[in-house]
Structure formats: C-alpha cells, structure tokens
Structure 1
C-alpha cells in the first residue's frame, strides 16, 4: 500500500493496515522536509505520481486536501478498516474511507468516499455520510442523520436523530446538534448554535 501524506494521521492508518496484515511500501508527500516515516521512505510527490504506486490511500486529515488529491489522481482507492470496528452487515463503506479502532456503524448506513471515521465514533442506523467527511473521536450520530460532503464533526459531538447537516459545515467539539445545519455553517455549544453566516446571507 502507498499512502498520500506522512504525518500523524498516516501513523494511525499504518497501524490499522499493519493489524490487517497489509504493509506500507512508501509515502507520497509534498513536504520536502519529510523523507520517511517509521523507516518507510517517501517515494515522491503528488505532482510526480507514478501509476506503479498502487494500491493507494489518502492519509491526510484535512477534508479539502483529500478531495483535491482524489480529484487530481483518479484511481481506485483502497479502504482501511480497523479489526476492532463493529460494522453491520448491511452498512456500506465506499473507497478511500478509513474506519478506526472502536468505531460502530449500525445497519443500513452508507459511508461515502474518502471519509474518516475516527476513534470510537458511533454512526447509528440509516445514516448517510457524504464524501470527504471527518467524524472526529468520540462523536455520536444518532439514527437517520445525513451529513453533506466535506463536513467536519468535532470530537465528542452529538447529533440527534433525523438531522440533516449540509456540505462543508463544521460541528464544534462537544456540540449537541438539535436542528438542521445549512451548508458551510459552523455551529458550537449545547444546544449547538450558528457562529458564522454563509456569504449569501451577508
């Protein structure tokens, strides 16, 4: 496996892959200061991507950067799923997605492309998680929730049932979301309240 990105997020993915019996052969990294991670070499940059560097996974936590790489380098990406994750038989997980230790995904939930489901987060039944979303450690999504593309759900956040969260929104750490959140909006607190406005609202 080759990984795009050689930082802290990559360390966690390396550990997941190791536990799954998959070795990391090299990193694709644009920071010239980074030469290796855990004795595994940086083999090149995204601009110099070589089709021989497959299979691949994007190991970068920033949602926008993951999308940029996925759109620039259009290949079939792998997944990384920790063996201690609990995943319902009817759940669907798309390419490029990472599922970390202690994650629970309940029945009839769909997880999009290049999503990060971080340590001990819980996704209940009938949820739909869009592409490039990051659900941070310890977050709880109740049943019937929709999360739009690129949204960041902060550590320890709770989202109540049947809520819709728009694209590229930010849910603050520890927030309790009790109503729908529009595209591009940041909400924080308990109950979660909006802290910024969309450009169209100004």
Structure 2
C-alpha cells in the first residue's frame, strides 16, 4: 500500500477521499496499488468536521512536521493557497505523489509530473505533457500534444484542442473550450463556458459580457 497524508480537508479533499476509497474497493486492484490514508491536515479544523472523514485529523498545515516516510497528496482547490502550501511543505522535505483515477484514459505517450490530481473520466491524449501540481477535474479532455505547466486548475469538462500550450497558475471554469494551437500564459482566469479562440498572455480575465436581455416566459 502507498501510505499518504492528504493536504487539505475541504470539499476537494472529500472528493479525493472518494476517489481513493473507490480505488481501494476495486476487486482487480492489488494490495500494493491501494492507498493507506494516514490522515488529513488543514488549517481549518471545521473543514474536517464538515465532511465526517473516516480518517484522523493530523493538525494544522503550518505546524505540521513532515513525515519523510510517506507521500503527500495535495487536495486544496484554491489556486492561490495551493501553491503556497505546496512550496512550504516542499521546503520541509515533503514528497508528493500523483493520483490518477482508474477511469481516466491516459495515452501511453503522455508525460505526467508530480503532485497532480487527475479525476474520473478524464481523457489525456498522445504526447500530452503535464507538469506538476495541476488539478484536472472530472471529464476534462486534453487533446494531443497539449502542454500544461504547473499549478493550473481545470474545472469539470475543460477541453483543450491539439497543440494547446498552457503556462502556470491558470484557472479554467466549467465547460471551457480552448481551440487547437492556442496559447494561454500565466495567472489567468477563464470564466465558465468560454471558447478561447485566441491566445492569452498573462494576468488576464477572459469572459464574455452578454448584451442580450434574459427573458422569462411564463406558461
């Protein structure tokens, strides 16, 4: 079994725990492929109590003494705090692992770095390159030759066309589509439902302001 400590105890951590429990319950999974959760750490214990975990609470992240005998799995969705937390634990010598849900379809030619969480029903195409500490939510699709660097948050059903290049610290809302060979730089926010049809540099928010009136027609 892979022994891990989960970093975070909020809603995303609850989803990660569900993934791990799903894997551990699979009859086809060997014992050495299963996950042993030693506990969770979070700076807000209220998060832990809210989700009624079956694993112990191991205290604050800030005061946590790193266990060098186990791996850590980042389960903090907030893109700003996620990076700060990871870097603080790395400085203490923490080792991070990647979680890939067994329902994900991953090309054998894809390259995936450390500390990523790849959720259920994700599709990762040929020669995709994924860096470190990205959160790729359920039903996302990364087309062939996509390059995704570090600390990005892809909400459910984000789709990238072939040859897309994405930098660091970007947030993609639900149902974002990025057209092939488009480049997205660093520190950008792409609002839900957007079709990104042109390259975006850094530190931008991409959204569409609807001019049409919203009508409610009663029957």
Please state if 1:189 is matched with 2:208: yes
Residue 24 of structure 1, aligned match among 10, 23, 37: 37
Name which of structure 1's ranges 73-82 and 50-59 shifts more when overlaid on structure 2: 50-59
Conserved? CA contact 1:170–1:187, under 8 Å: yes
Structure 2 alignment gaps of length 5 or more = 24-33, 210-219
Structure 1 alignment gaps of length 5 or more = 191-202
Name the one with the larger helix percent.
Answer: 2
Normalising to structure 2: TM-score of the pair?
0.82
Normalising to structure 1: TM-score of the pair?
0.89
Q: Distance in 1 between matches of 2:80 and 2:7?
A: 14
1:1-36 superposed Cα distances (whole Å, 9 cap, x missing partner)? 111110110111112222333132211110143455
Please state if 1:69 is matched with 2:85: yes
- Kindly report the root-mean-square deviation, in angstroms, between the aligned alpha carbons of the 2 structures: 1.5
Conserved? CA contact 2:10–2:48, under 8 Å: no
1:49-94 superposed Cα distances (whole Å, 9 cap, x missing partner)? 2222731111010112111011111122011111000000011111
Q: Distance in 2 between matches of 1:61 and 1:86?
A: 22
Please state if 1:33 is matched with 2:46: yes
CA radius of gyration, larger in: 2
Match of 1:48, SS state, is: coil
Match runs of 1:122-141 below 5 Å: 122-141=141-160
Match of 1:113, SS state, is: coil
Please state if 1:13 is matched with 2:16: yes
